[in-house]
Structure formats: structure tokens, C-alpha cells
Amino acid sequence: MDLVHEGVLRKFESLKGNLIVGKVGIKGNNSNERLPPDQYVPEAHILHNLVRGFYKPAGKPYILSYQATESNKNYGKQIIWKDTHQNQFLRIEMAPPNKEKDPIKKSDIEAARYNLNHNIPIGILYKIKKGHNRVLGLGTITSERADGVFVVEPFSFKDSASRPLEELKTLVEDEEINTSFVAEVIQRRGQAVFKKKLIANYTECAICGIDEPSLLIASHIKPWKYSSNLERLDRFNGLLLCPNHDRLFDQGLITFSDNGMIIISKLLTPKTKTLLGLTDNMQIYLVEDHKKYIDWHRENCFRNTQ
């Protein structure tokens, strides 16, 4: 994500809830078809081109923003509201352009997939009526349904705390310095943010209940080295575990089914299982957002044979 792109997204976040009347506040006026640089974006830019729902900036692989339109005909189908007065949506169903011969359709879909695969947020405008757009903030595309609809869920930079990480990552790329040290710093800072998030939600080892804070480890379900930056900081990609259970999980000697039932590796002897407090009927609490990570762990980390 470059500075301009990230700046536009941050601007979307800061404008959340604002009603923009006319197109000048979205793409500039006629004499200067862009918005001037500001505190968020270091160069001239636009939020959306107002031509079609998807806005993919020329030459970029991603969608920058989406304009949801709710005519009476499709009311309640495109934006699933959490709270209309607060302009909070639960979900937006982003249907791709439906004209069969639309030449831009294919590139729009590819761009949306790019956002999906790279966890790149998009800005959301809600067109209430002609020339009246409400900024709904940011969303991330979380899935592509079989019917071609892209599902968007709310996103906030404030929650993701990804900025320090991005900055350090840029440093690594720019300086081309030996990355092992810097990578370690990034990992340590990321881990600290991640642990804070888990501690805010859990107080004890998910498996045995040990609750001494200094012993608890924020364990990634999908390991750090395989995760994207957003996945690294996603609290649903984590379990709070005591040292023994962290190590067992990290080593792939235990994993969990989608409903949280423990799966214990055949490599562990009955004696070790007993000493580590493991029984086959253990279950941890998982929610829907954990599942993609747990699936990944079960498929790629768990080992039942040498």
C-alpha cells in the first residue's frame, strides 16, 4: 500500500458518517478533476469516480472504493445495516457489474479478488439519492460468494493498529539493510500489539485455565511467518495459552476442530498426555472468525505421524 492509497483510506475513515452533497467533495470540480492534497493524502486524488459502483484507479490492481446504491427496488439487499442512524453496516453485498458485455467487468472482479487476497481495505460510499453520498468508512472484502457477490465487512485502522508495522516494513524495503534484525523488531512489536488484543478479550489459557498473566502467551493459530500483516494482528488468529499448551499447539501436537474439540496427536504417549493435562473431550471456545485460521492450522501444522 503506497502513501497515497493509504492516505485516501484514512481519509475515508475520518469522513465516516459525513454526507457529501455534489461531486466536488468526492472527485473535485470541473476545472480541476481532483481533490487537492490535504493532511491525509500527499497529492491530488479522488475518492471515487462516481461512474460505476467499483472504483479501480487506473493502473492499480485493487479497488479503492465502492459506491453502494440502495434504490427502493433493492433496499435492504445491498447494505445490511447494524445501525442506520450511526451509519454502521454489518455487511455490504457488492454485486459485480451485471452487464454481460461490460468490458470493465472482468478487471473489476479481478481487482476485488486482489483486495480479498491481500486484505486491502476499501472506502465505502452510500448513495442515498442523486448527488447525495454518505461516507460509511472502510470495509474489507471477506469472501466471494458462489453467486459472484463480494461480501464486505467493516474495517478500521484504529482497530487494526497496523501502522507501526507498515512503517517498519517500508524501512526494511527502502534501506535494504540486513533484514533479520529489523524483521525481529517488527515481530516483537507486532507480538506486543497482538498480545494486548488477546489480553483484552481473554484472561486465561484457553485449554487449562492458567491465569497468571506473565505466563500467558499470545499464540498465533496461523503462524506469523505464513500470515499477512493483517492476519498477524487479527485477534481471531490467536489463542491465549500457557507455555506448555502454546508449545504443543505451535509444534502441531494438538489442534482443534471447527467447533473447538481438541485433536491430540498420536505422537504423544498416554503418560505425556496426562502430565500435560490433556484429555480427548476438551473443547475450547471458538467463533466463526477463528475458523479459517483453525482450518489452516489443522491442514498445515498438525502432525499425527513423524
For residues 64 and 10, give the distance between their C-alpha atoms in angstroms, rounded to a whole number: 12
Q: Of residues 36-65, which lie at the interface with Zn ion (CB under 5 A)?
A: none
The yes or no reply on residue 205 touching Zn ion (CB under 5 A) is yes
Residues 249-278 that bind Zn ion (CB under 5 A): none
The residues in 228-247 that bind Zn ion, with binding defined as CB under 5 A, are: 242, 245
Question: Of 54 and 249, which has the nearer Cβ to Zn ion?
Answer: 249
Nearest distance, CB of residue 246 and Zn ion, angstroms = 8
Say whether residue 207 binds Zn ion (CB under 5 A).
yes
| CB closer to Zn ion, 171 vs 262 | 262
Closest CA to 251 of 241, 259, 236, 261: 241
Q: In this complex, which beta carbon is closest to Zn ion, that of residue 138 or of residue 207? A: 207
Stretch that binds Zn ion, among 72-80, 112-120, 181-189, 200-208 (CB under 5 A): 200-208
Cβ distance to Zn ion smaller for residue 65 or 219 = 219
Q: Cα angle at 22 between 19 and 23, to 5 degrees? A: 105
Q: Which of 20, 149, 208, 262 binds Zn ion (CB under 5 A)?
A: 208
Q: Per the structure block, which three cell numbers stand in for 106?
A: 472482468
Residue 217 binds Zn ion (CB under 5 A): no
Check residue 206 for interaction with Zn ion (CB under 5 A).
Answer: no
| Shortest distance in whole angstroms from residue 242 CB to Zn ion | 3
- Total chain residues near Zn ion (CB under 5 A): 6
To Zn ion, the closest distance from the beta carbon of 249 in angstroms equals 10
Our CB check for Zn ion shows the closer of 174 and 212 to be 212
Q: Least Å distance between CB 243 and Zn ion?
A: 8
Q: Are strands 122-129 and 65-69 parallel, antiparallel or unpaired?
A: parallel
Residue with smaller CB distance to Zn ion, 15 or 242: 242
Q: In sequence order, what are the residues at sequence separation of 6 or more whose Cβ sits closer than 8 angstroms to the Cβ of residue 270?
A: none
Residue 80 touching Zn ion (CB under 5 A): no
Please report how close the Cβ of residue 5 comes to Zn ion at its closest, in angstroms: 42
Nearer to Zn ion, 48 or 220 (CB): 220
Chain residues 115-174 in contact with Zn ion, contact rule CB under 5 A: none
The residues that touch Zn ion, with contacts defined as CB under 5 A, are 205, 207-208, 210, 242, 245
